[in-house]
Structure 1
Amino acid sequence: MISLRKKLPPLTALTAFEAAARLGSFTRAAMELGVTQAAISRQIHVLEEDFGFPLFRRLHRKIELTDQGRALFNASAEAFNLIADTVSELRAERQDDQLAISATISFAHFWLMPRIAAFSRAHPEIKLRIITQDARNSIEAGDIDLALRYGTGTWPDGQAEFLFEDEVFPICSAEYALVKGPILTPADLIDHPLISSDTDDPTWTGWEEWLAAFSVKAPKKARGLRCSFYTEAIYAAMNGQGIALGWHHLVNDLIDQGRLVRLTEASIKTRAGYFVVMPAKRAAKESARLFIEWLRASGSLS
């Protein structure tokens, strides 16, 4: 019986071929593999000599796969992807005690970090890595085990599970409320500096939408501070610079501490909610399952 090793072409040459076929260029394949273009050409020539037929058609300033080359590329790409997935799973098993969690800056700052010690006390064997980023990067690459996001739950890069909804109401510092009050109704708010934050998220509630829910028109020329991030808006409110919109789950701790106060009884439910998102193409770690259970329990108490 012929051994498997003898049935296979040289793996170095096959690697060079797969990269060139996938990228459609000997030059780009050389850059990806860290070798010269001449080295890629030599390796592919080795394959073509071994097979006895060309794998590429060399055209003016480009290459094209022959029918035989396309058949080899489909098989090699599938095999390499299978190996890569298996290696990722094995590495994940080796590092199963580390859980990488992505969260927005505001959620990590105001909700997650004040509570995360409770999870670590319950599961000291799990090493946590918190990645704060407002940019919504794909979680399929393998660096992140789960992401905590606010939105509608329709993201193409993973499977989303609903955690909890939220409500929004106006907040300010206790000193501001004492000096500038009374502020009893939504209509009273437009006479004050309204602090806002920039966002590209259409589900995020701003002053115009919030006031419109109570038939109050937002002032055309807002006097309040405009911040790049929601965290900055909350700190501006705590420092007495005006009134901001508070998401219950994000500001409730600060209200309990007396660093913020809620104004009026008016509030609106958010159009979106908080979700945990896990990669669709990777099996969830046991540590991720434990963390999600903790999230649900903690969210219900907030």
Structure 2
Amino acid sequence: MSGYRRQLPSMTSLVVFEAAARQKSFTKAAAELGITQAAVSRQVQGLEENLGFQLFRRLHRSIELTARGLSLSKSMSEALGIIAQTVQSITDESKPAELVISASVAFSHFWLLPNISDFRRANPDVKLKIVTQDSAVNLLREDIDVAIRYGNGNWPDGKAIMLFNDDIFPVCSPGYLAEHGAPDCVADLARHNLIASDSLDSSWTGWEQWLSAFGHSSDPRNVTLSCNFYTDAIYAALRGEGIALGWHRLVSDLLRQKQLIRVSSESVRTRHAYFVVLKAAPARKPAVESFLAWICSETNGSTATLQNSPF
């Protein structure tokens, strides 16, 4: 049986191609690899000649992957990601265990950080790094062990395990409630100052979706304050600026401490759920298994299939 070397083109050209495909630019790939743009072009052209077909369509000031190029790009990204993970794993064997966790700003601030001390006490030898950002990280390409995400559970870069759905209802500060009173019903929310949090995620439940679940439309005039981040919307509610939508799992501590008050018995179940997503790797760090057991226990998470509903 012949070795891989005879079956594969130049590994240099494949690595250069992967960078160009990922960056969608010969120039950006050259900067990443520390070579010239002309060298990237030569490597890609040589690879195309070796394979006997085009990998890119050269457009005016841009490049575009062909169908075959896209297929090769996906395989190269996955293969290089696995190699990088393995190299890091065997390199880090002599170093203290480190667990890198990615989470959204809201989940990190309102749930993960308030609860992580329990995990740290049970696992004192694990060094934690929490990467907080709302944009999704790619587990195949980035140095992340575990990601906590809200969505439908279908992500190509890892194995998703459901943690929980959530319930959403209006909340405000005790001061706002004392000054303005509680709404008598859902329709009565129209006379209150509503605080919104914007999201590019279509599955996110904002005021428009929440009110429509009860047969009401959201009048933009009622939203007197809009924030880019959910954390900012909750802080505005804490300061008495109006009524925000509280995600029960995220604001439960604030409700328990009576810093926020629930002002309506009506609630809406989230469209999707929170998941813990594990990087696909030849062998997971022991710390990953410990974290998975801990967070599933804390949230009563399970591997049950999520049953989608309108909300």
Q: Give the TM-score of the pair, scaled to structure 1.
A: 0.76
- CA drift at 1:222: 2.5
Q: Which residue of 1 aligns with 2:257?
A: 257
- Within 2, Cα distance between the matches of 1:221 and 1:39? 57
- CA drift at 1:36: 6.6
Q: Does 1:65 align with 2:44?
A: no
- CA drift at 1:31: 5.4
Trace 1:163-174 onto structure 2 (pairs within 5 A). 163-174=163-174
Moved more, 248-257 or 203-212: 203-212
- Within 1, Cα distance between the matches of 2:216 and 2:36? 67
Moved more, 82-91 or 265-274: 82-91
CA distance 1:101–1:30, shift in 2 (3 Å): closer
- Within 2, Cα distance between the matches of 1:36 and 1:239? 54
CA distance 1:29–1:133, shift in 2 (3 Å): closer
3-state DSSP of counterpart to 2:221: coil
| Contact 1:140–1:281 under 8 Å retained in 2 | no
Q: Which residue of 1 aligns with 2:63?
A: none
CA distance 1:286–1:197, shift in 2 (3 Å): same
- Within 1, Cα distance between the matches of 2:204 and 2:192? 22
- Within 1, Cα distance between the matches of 2:28 and 2:181? 65
Q: Which residue of 2 aligns with 1:156?
A: 156
Trace 1:24-173 onto structure 2 (pairs within 5 A). 33-34=33-34, 64-66=48-50, 81=80, 84=84, 86-95=86-95, 97-173=97-173
Q: Which residue of 2 aligns with 1:213?
A: 213
- Gap runs ≥5 in structure 2: 53-71, 302-311
- Gap runs ≥5 in structure 1: 1-7, 9-13, 45-55, 58-62, 69-73
Which amino acid letter does the alignment assign opposite residue 208 of structure 2?
A: E
- CA drift at 1:173: 0.2
- CA drift at 1:35: 5.4
- CA drift at 1:83: 5.6
- Within 2, Cα distance between the matches of 1:170 and 1:144? 34
- CA drift at 1:139: 1.4
What's the Cα RMSD here? 3.7
Which amino acid letter does the alignment assign opposite residue 154 of structure 1?
A: N
- Within 2, Cα distance between the matches of 1:168 and 1:30? 48
Runs of 4+ displaced beyond 4 Å: 14-33, 35-40, 80-85
- Within 2, Cα distance between the matches of 1:254 and 1:29? 47
Q: Which residue of 1 aligns with 2:222?
A: 222
3-state DSSP of counterpart to 2:194: coil
Which amino acid letter does the alignment assign opposite residue 262 of structure 1?
A: R
1:158-203 Cα distance to aligned partner (Å, 9 max, x none): 1111011100000000111111113232122111011001101111
Which amino acid letter does the alignment assign opposite residue 293 of structure 1?
A: A
Q: Does 1:197 align with 2:200?
A: no
The alignment covers a number of residue pairs equal to 269
- CA drift at 1:84: 4.4
Q: Give the TM-score of the pair, scaled to structure 2.
A: 0.74
Which amino acid letter does the alignment assign opposite residue 162 of structure 1?
A: M
- Within 2, Cα distance between the matches of 1:252 and 1:26? 50
- CA drift at 1:30: 6.8
Q: Which residue of 1 aligns with 2:275?
A: 275
CA distance 1:109–1:20, shift in 2 (3 Å): closer
1:227-270 Cα distance to aligned partner (Å, 9 max, x none): 11100000000000000000001101001111100012111111
